[in-house]
Amino acid sequence: MRVAADTLRRQLDTIFRAWAMRAENIATTVEAMVETDLRGVDSHGIAMLPLYDELRRQGKLRLDASPRIVRETGATALIDAGAGLGHPAAVFAMNLAVDNCRRTGVAVASVFNSHHFGAAGVYAKIAADRGAIGMVTSSTRYIAVVPTFAAEPVIGTNPIAFAAPAGRNPPFLLDMATSTVAAGKVKVHKLNDLPVPSGWVVDDRGRPVTDAGQAVSAIFEGAGGGLSPLGGSREQGGHKGYGLAVMAHILAGTLSGASFSPIRDRTQRPDDPDNIGHFFLAIDPGAFRAAESFSDDLDQVIDVLHGTRRADPGQPVLVAGEPELAIRDERLKAGVPIPPALVEQIRKIAERAGAAFVLENA
């Protein structure tokens, strides 16, 4: 099913209203989720709704929460997300960091007591759209990634996003998991009844897993094994992805006082919030040089990369963010693809909430 972006917005809006989410947070959350789907990050947009519904019914997720600053200096801020969804806290934190970097050159906002916030790149892009450099990292809920030399998962997919404003070109926008692939993408393969590429997931003996059902069981159901760190094996540089994952957690989780999943799972009650942490860095290029000179130079960097001799004449050399922009343009015209299994899950969520099932007439 192809669904127009406005239809997705209406579906999410009706469900969040039925869940009694704070009105001021609904639009922010809906826009972040739809933008994620438009950019082709299918694992982190409306596909997350079943998890949010599960967290809500478990009593972990508090829909009446709003982010609040609990500690602040001129260049730093610590924000309590109130055990709500991470999207409103992330938008608030990134904008606050950009506001503060205008005065201090560099600013950081950290968030704790949060839940899943979707795609990190959505928030890094906020900084670039406002003329700042943005960096985002996050800790995660799941223990999904098997460290180098380990036989069991211990860490999360811990994303890193980075955005910088160009002039003639779109912003440079890197958005990546520190695992070989995001855990949600394995779910998407299962929803679409597709095999998992070799190297994404390993079993409890380190062997590649390609069956999507087995892969989902390994990651989400404790069946043994999990995701490989970015790079895969030690010989292919997986230790670098492992190191980046820990770095992302230190910035997002340890710095803010958020939980580390293996410790949380041993010490917290089943209905306690996930206490995920997020990290937002904003840099004002104008604090170092004329802002327009920075953008001009970045344009030249991107132009050189675009002009690199191609390995395949039919495949242009791209920079980070451009594939997602192309997908966004296509989906604005043709709609966002929603797998039948997900459509049925959303139908049931709407029924339980007493909300209209908008996708039915899409």
Three-class DSSP labels, the chain: CEECHHHHHHHHHHHHHHCCCCHHHHHHHHHHHHHHHHCCCCCCCHHHHHHHHHHHHHCCCCCCCCCEEEEECCCEEEEECCCCCHHHHHHHHHHHHHHHHHHHCEEEEEEEEECCCCCHHHHHHHHHHCCCEEEEEECCCCCCECCCCCCCCCECCCCEEEEECCCCCCCEEEEECCECCCHHHHHHHHHCCCCCCCCCEECCCCCEECCHHHHHHHHHCCCCCEECECCCCHHHCHHHHHHHHHHHHHHHHHCCCCCCHHHHHHHCCCCCCCCEEEEEEEECHHHCCCHHHHHHHHHHHHHHHHCCCCCCCCCCCCCCCHHHHHHHHHHHHHCEECCHHHHHHHHHHHHHHCCCCHHHHC
Q: Is residue 274 located within the same domain as residue 211?
A: yes
Confidence (pLDDT) at 91 = 98
Q: Is the pLDDT of residue 260 over 80?
A: yes
Using CB atoms within 10 A of its CB, is residue 51 exposed (0-12), middle (13-18) or buried (19+)? Answer: middle
Is residue 139 domain-shared with residue 272, that is, in the same domain? Answer: yes
pLDDT at 144: 87
Encode pLDDT of 56-112 as tens digits: 999 999 999 999 999 999 999 999 999 999 999 999 999 999 999 999 999 999 999
Q: Are 49 and 72 in a shared domain?
A: no
Three-point CA angle 156, 159, 162, nearest 5°: 165
pLDDT value at residue 157: 92
- If asked whether residues 34 and 112 sit together in one domain, one would say no
Q: Which CATH number does the domain housing residue 140 bear? A: 3.30.1370.60
- Distance between CA atoms of residues 5 and 40, nearest Å: 12
301 in a structural domain: no
- The domain in which residue 102 lies consists of 66-292
Is residue 309 in some structural domain? no
The answer to whether residues 4 and 51 belong to one domain is yes
46, part of any domain: yes
Q: Tell whether 109 is covered by a domain.
A: yes
Residue-level pLDDT at 131: 97
Give the chain's domain count. Answer: 2
Q: Note whether residue 307 is domain-resident.
A: no
**Gap between the Cα atoms of 232 and 242, Å rounded:** 9
pTM: 0.93
Q: In CATH, what number is assigned to the domain containing residue 344?
A: 1.10.1530.10
- Average confidence score pLDDT of the chain: 94
Q: What's the token pair of residue 304?
A: 């050189």
C-beta separation of 107 from 97 below 8 A: yes
CB of 345 within 8 A of CB of 50? yes
Note whether 53 and 74 are same-domain residues: no
- Per the domain annotation, does 107 fall within a domain? yes
Residues 3 and 122 occupy one common structural domain: no
On whether residue 148 sits in a domain, the answer given is yes
Any domain includes 299: no
Residue 133: is its pLDDT beyond 90? yes
In a shared domain, residues 130 and 279: yes
Sign of CA dihedral 258, 117, 17, 188: negative
Same domain? For 31 and 102 the reply is: no
Of 243, 273, 292, the residue that ends a domain is 292
User: Taking the mean position of all CA atoms in its chain, how far away is CA 202?
Assistant: 23
Q: Does position 329 have pLDDT exceeding 70, yes or no?
A: yes
Q: What is the pLDDT of residue 362?
A: 66
- pLDDT confidence tier of residue 328, bands split at 50, 70 and 90: very high
The C-alpha atoms of residue 231 and residue 178 are separated, in whole angstroms, by: 9
Identify the CA nearest to 339 among candidates 200, 182, 184, 193. Answer: 193
120's tokens: 């990190």
Band the pLDDT of 318: cuts 50, 70, 90: very high
* Separation of alpha carbons 226 and 151, rounded Å: 9
Alpha-carbon span 232 to 239, nearest angstrom: 8
Same domain for 53 and 78, yes or no, is no
pLDDT in tens, 33-54: 999 999 999 989 999 999 999 9
Co-location of 255 and 176 in the same domain: yes
Is residue 361's pLDDT more than 80?
no
Q: Given a cut of 70, is residue 240 above it in pLDDT?
A: yes
Domain end among 240, 271, 292 = 292
Sheet holding 201-202, edge to edge: 208-209, 201-202, 226-227
The pLDDT, as a whole number, for residue 141 is: 85
Average pLDDT over residues 148-154: 87
Evaluate if residue 294 carries a pLDDT over 90. yes
Q: 241 pLDDT exceeds 80?
A: yes
User: First vs last Cα of the chain: how many Å apart?
Assistant: 8
Domain end (from 292, 319, 349): 292
Kindly state whether residues 94 and 240 are assigned to the same domain: yes
